[in-house]
């Protein structure tokens, strides 16, 4: 049946969200489930039962929103796509029993493995990548390693329980293991090197046998099974047989949602973590601060990923909320965020001498293994709400800027357009202007930016079934999805740019404070 809709569902760091779009690529219903990772025995993780619960509640809320808007029961859709936080470690035995707690991208416990693999491959392997996690598990001689028959990401796991297919979209797969330059699959030379490492460690399985199959955007990734339909919709209304797009990571869905899949386009996703993605037109050198991944169509992408972005901002806004409640005031949380963000534009360009480090967790770009949020000021610093709010936002962008300087200044990567999406850009004109100040580049925010990853995943799902002309993903997004898209572009003025430069200079010089805080506190 032709429903004229597609569903994208994404497992984000603090919220699982689903979006239903129509043939005009407009969101017509949505659902969500809030959750948070937990530090258990030194591991950042989400419980397996909560993963399934979140999936079901998110879909149920989508279904209810659809019923309220249309008066109809959601029984089917033309296609579905699953997305999630990239990287991490979900190892399974031959019966698909989870062998270890889910280790998320946020963990910085794979330093020796990441360094070893980077040297072995001649290719940067960040700590959060899945191959670094399984390599570290082998190095640590974890008891479960010998039983591993398959490992995947969060998106790959959910896709499996709904379809029975052990596959990944190439963008998501590129955050598990390096992709070859010449064809859309894992690099065979690096696979051989890793298998030699495994053999030397006495491991009987081979890495190529336990990785998910790689698919590119537009390829079929299976269909919803009867068991999958019952799991996703326990009420029994959802029909089996719905086609699935290749599961993608939040980086790939962010690129799709901002139409940033063409060479020399880029986007910055800013939520719990923040990362810049730039589709490049030439080979880059090996830099610890820069990952090489791909678009959902397989184009090479330079990625600067930072583990920390808005979590520290959220903590301070929660504190402000507590103060207001103690004073007998009740204010909507969304409005409070708007007040804080808008006040940032009234602050001094360099934040009046205020400085903070937003490290809730470790940070690979600056080689920090643990998180210690730090706020510091001089006795004569101008501590106002405006300066403090601006400081929080500039702090959330500073590590990203450090990585992007390597990309732009050292590797001479050119960016024709830079799009912003995610929570940092929800307050109109604020996040875009301050990101523009950090990058000295015009920043555009689409009207769909608030939809974010699940919207991008819905677009990739639509590409699977609605691409009648067999267009490339780049052309499909340009000529059909975003042809009439409304976009607001902001360029920071010279005072903003110079102010950020002064702030970052202080940030770099005082970084010893962050390292010392980890050492003594």
Strands 274-279 and 300-306: antiparallel
CA dihedral sign, ordered 185, 188, 189, 194: positive
Neighbours of 258 (CB within 10 A): 32
Give the separation between CA 16 and CA 457, rounded to whole angstroms: 13
* Residue whose token pair is 């889910």: 102
What does the H/E/C string look like for 83-116? EECCCCEEEECCCCCECCCCECCCCCCCHHHHHH
Mean pLDDT score of the chain: 94
Q: Does residue 382 form part of some domain?
A: yes
- Domain range spanning residue 317? 311-397+494-520
Residues 43 and 115: beta-carbon distance below 8 Å = no
Q: Does residue 354 form part of some domain?
A: yes
pLDDT at 449: 56
Structural domain tally of the chain? 1
Q: Does residue 424 form part of some domain?
A: no
Q: Does residue 145 form part of some domain?
A: no
Give the separation between CA 350 and CA 500, rounded to whole angstroms: 6
- What pLDDT, in 10s, does the model give residues 379-392? 999 999 999 999 99
Q: How many CA atoms lie within 13 A of 147 on its CB side?
A: 14
pLDDT at 13: 87
Give the separation between CA 329 and CA 336, rounded to whole angstroms: 12
The answer on pLDDT for 51 being more than 70 is yes
Q: Does residue 478 form part of some domain?
A: no
Cα 303 from chain centre:
11
Give the separation between CA 328 and CA 123, rounded to whole angstroms: 56
Q: Does residue 325 form part of some domain?
A: yes
pLDDT at 451: 60
Q: Does residue 300 form part of some domain?
A: no
Q: Which residues pair with 490 in a beta bridge?
A: 443
pLDDT band for 241, please (50, 70, 90 cuts). very high
Contacts for 256 with CB less than 8 Å, ≥ 6 apart: 248, 296, 456, 457, 459, 460, 473, 477
Which whole number is the average pLDDT over 451-472? 91
pTM: 0.83
Q: Does residue 262 form part of some domain?
A: no
Contacts for 35 with CB less than 8 Å, ≥ 6 apart: 14, 15, 16, 46, 50, 54
- What pLDDT, in 10s, does the model give residues 61-93? 999 999 999 999 999 999 999 999 999 999 999
Give the separation between CA 278 and CA 204, rounded to whole angstroms: 38
Query: 3-class SS at 45?
Result: strand
């Amino acid at each position: 049946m032709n429903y004229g809709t597609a569903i994208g569902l994404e497992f984000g760091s603090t919220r699982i969200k689903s979006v239903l779009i129509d043939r005009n690529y407009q969101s017509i219903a949505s659902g969500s489930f809030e959750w948070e990772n937990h530090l258990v025995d030194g591991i950042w993780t989400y419980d397996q039962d909560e993963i399934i619960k979140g999936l079901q509640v998110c879909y149920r809320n989508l279904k209810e929103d659809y019923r309220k808007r249309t008066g109809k029961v959601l029984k089917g859709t033309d296609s579905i796509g699953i997305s999630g936080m990239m990287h991490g470690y979900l190892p399974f035995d031959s019966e698909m029993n989870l062998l270890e707690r889910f280790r998320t991208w946020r963990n910085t416990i794979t330093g020796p493995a990441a360094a070893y693999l980077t040297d072995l491959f001649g290719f940067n392997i960040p700590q959060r990548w899945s191959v670094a996690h399984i390599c570290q598990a082998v190095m640590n001689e974890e008891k479960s390693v010998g039983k591993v028959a398959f490992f995947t990401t969060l998106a790959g796991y959910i896709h499996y329980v709904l379809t029975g297919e052990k596959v990944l979209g190439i963008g998501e797969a590129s955050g598990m293991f390096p992709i070859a330059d010449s064809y859309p699959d894992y690099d065979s030379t690096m696979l051989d090197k890793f298998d030699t490492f495994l053999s030397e460690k006495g491991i009987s399985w081979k890495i190529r046998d336990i990785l998910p199959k790689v698919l590119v955007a537009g390829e079929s990734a299976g269909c919803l099974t009867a068991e999958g339909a019952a799991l996703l919709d326990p009420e029994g209304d959802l029909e089996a047989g719905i086609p699935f797009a290749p599961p993608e990571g939040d980086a790939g869905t962010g690129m799709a949602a901002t139409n940033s899949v063409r060479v020399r386009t880029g986007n910055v996703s800013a939520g719990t973590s923040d990362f810049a993605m730039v589709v490049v037109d030439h080979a880059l050198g090996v830099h610890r601060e820069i990952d090489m991944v791909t678009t959902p169509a397989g184009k090479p992408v330079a990625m600067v990923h930072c583990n920390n972005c808005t979590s520290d901002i959220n903590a301070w806004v929660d504190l402000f909320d507590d103060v207001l409640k103690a004073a007998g005031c009740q204010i909507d949380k969304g409005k409070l965020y708007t007040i804080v963000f808008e006040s940032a534009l009234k602050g001094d360009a360099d934040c009046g001498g205020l400085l903070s480090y937003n490290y809730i967790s470790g940070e690979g770009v600056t080689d920090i293994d643990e998180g210690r949020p730090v706020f510091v000021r001089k006795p004569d610093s101008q501590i106002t709400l405006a300066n403090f709010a601006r400081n929080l936002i500039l702090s959330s962008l500073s590590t990203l800027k450090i990585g992007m300087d390597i990309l732009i200044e050292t590797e001479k990567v050119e960016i024709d357009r830079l799009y912003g999406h995610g929570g940092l850009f929800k307050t109109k004109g604020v996040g875009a202007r301050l990101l523009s100040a950090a990058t000295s580049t015009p920043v555009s925010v689409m009207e769909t930016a608030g939809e974010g990853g699940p919207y991008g995943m819905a677009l990739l799902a639509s590409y699977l079934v609605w691409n009648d002309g067999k267009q490339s993903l780049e052309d499909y997004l340009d000529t059909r999805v975003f042809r009439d898209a409304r976009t607001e572009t902001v360029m920071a003025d010279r005072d903003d740019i110079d102010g950020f430069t002064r702030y970052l200079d202080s940030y770099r010089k005082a970084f010893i404070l962050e390292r010392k805080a980890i050492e003594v506190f």
